[in-house]
C-alpha cells in the first residue's frame, strides 16, 4: 500500500535552515506530482509547494517563495523540502502528499507529518 514517511522536523531558531524528507513507497513515484502541505498548531491546512513528476516544474505559495525549495529524487523515491530563513510563523506539522497523475489536483495520500518548530 502507499506509504509516505516524513522526517527531518525539529526545533530550530528563526533565520536558520532545515531540510525535510519524505520516503515514498507502494506506488510509481516517478509518475506522480508531489506536494508539501502544512498545518500550524490548531489551524487549518496550508499548501506549501508542489513538484511535477519529472522534477522540472515547481510551484510555491507566496508565503514561502524564495525561502523554500522543493526537490525530488525519482531514483530513490524521495521528496525533499529545503527550508531557509525560517520564521516563527513557519511552525507547523508538514505533510508529504501524493497527487496522482490525472487526479485533478486531488491529494490522494498523506503522510503522518513531521513537526517543525521555529523558536528562539
36: nearest Cα among 117, 102, 116: 116
Give the rounded distance of the alpha carbon of 82 from its chain centre: 9
Site string for other proteins, 41-60 (x = CB under 8 A): ---xxxx--x--------xx
Which of left, alpha, beta for 23 (phi over 0: left; psi -120 to 50: alpha)? beta
Pick 61 or 69: Cβ nearer other proteins: 61
Triad 99, 104, 105: Cα angle to 5°: 40
Among 32, 86, 111, 114, binds other proteins (CB under 8 A): 111
**Under rule CB under 8 A, which residues in 53-92 are in contact with other proteins?**
59-62
Residues in contact with other proteins by the rule CB under 8 A = 35, 37, 44-47, 50, 59-62, 95, 103-108, 110-113
Amino acid at each position: 500500500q502507499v506509504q509516505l514517511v516524513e522526517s527531518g522536523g525539529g526545533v530550530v531558531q528563526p533565520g536558520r535552515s532545515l531540510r525535510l524528507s519524505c520516503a515514498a513507497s507502494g506506488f510509481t513515484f516517478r509518475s506522480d506530482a508531489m506536494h508539501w502541505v502544512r498545518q500550524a498548531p490548531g489551524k487549518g491546512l496550508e499548501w506549501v509547494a508542489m513538484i511535477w513528476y519529472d522534477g522540472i516544474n515547481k510551484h510555491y505559495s507566496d508565503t514561502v517563495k524564495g525561502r523554500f525549495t522543493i526537490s525530488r529524487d525519482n531514483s530513490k523515491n524521495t521528496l525533499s523540502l529545503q527550508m531557509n530563513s525560517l520564521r516563527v510563523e513557519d511552525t507547523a506539522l508538514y505533510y508529504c502528499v501524493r497527487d496522482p497523475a490525472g487526479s485533478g489536483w486531488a491529494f490522494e495520500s498523506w503522510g503522518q507529518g513531521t513537526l517543525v518548530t521555529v523558536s528562539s
